[in-house]
């Protein structure tokens, strides 16, 4: 969700970084159901009026506890959340102190680059944050804004 040229991201008090809400799909879970669940869990999104695909990124990733390689596809959407309620955080998100916050793309990119420089040993950070930075840069480069509850692209 983009409002007043700021993106609604998830800020982690533990890692001091900004990421898009998201996570994995559960077994037999439909793609849109997973999106809505993750938005509820991490943002507290109770009502979603509009969903529009933005794009996706495919990455070859190493398994956490092995040297196996797998293909991860991360999908990104524009959404309009019309009603927010309480987050439904899992244990891991609670430990990380995640909270939704509107932030400029420039501020999020700058902070994530700082985190990358100081957290080089964290395997997850090396893959997640560069991907989030690329998406934020794409949003910025393409001039997307949210105005009158309708997605517009400035040219």
Tens-digit pLDDT profile for residues 53-74: 999 999 887 776 777 888 889 9
Flag whether pLDDT at 120 surpasses 80: no
Q: Tell me which of 60-74, 79-93, 104-118 is least confident.
A: 60-74
Which runs of E-coded beta strand occur in 5-68?
6-12, 17-19, 45-62
% residues pLDDT > 70 (the chain): 87
Phi, psi dihedrals of residue 132, rounded to the nearest 5°: -65, -40
Distances (CA, A) of 68 to 27, 61, 122, 124: 21, 8, 18, 15
Domains and CATH numbers, the chain: 2-153 (3.90.79.10)
- C-beta neighbour count of 117 within 10 angstroms: 8
Angle between the 105-118 and 123-142 helix axes, to the nearest 10 degrees? 160
Tell me what the mean pLDDT of segment 65-91 comes to: 89
Tens-digit pLDDT profile for residues 19-50: 999 888 899 999 899 999 999 999 999 999 88
């Amino acid at each position: 969700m983009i409002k007043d040229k700021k993106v609604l991201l998830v800020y982690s008090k533990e890692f001091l970084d900004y990421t898009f809400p998201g996570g994995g799909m559960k077994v037999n879970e439909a793609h849109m159901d997973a999106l809505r669940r993750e938005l509820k869990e991490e943002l507290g999104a109770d009502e979603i009026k509009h969903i529009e695909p933005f794009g996706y990124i495919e990455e070859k990733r190493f398994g956490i506890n092995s040297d196996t390689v797998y293909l991860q596809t991360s999908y990104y959407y524009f959404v309009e959340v019309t009603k927010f309620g309480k987050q439904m955080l899992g244990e891991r998100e609670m430990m990380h102190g995640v909270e939704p916050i509107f932030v400029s793309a420039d501020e999020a990119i700058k902070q994530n680059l700082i985190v990358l420089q100081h957290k080089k040993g964290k395997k997850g950070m090396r893959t997640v944050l560069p991907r989030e930075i690329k998406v934020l840069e794409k949003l910025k480069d393409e001039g997307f804004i949210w105005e009158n509850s309708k997605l517009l692209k400035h040219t």
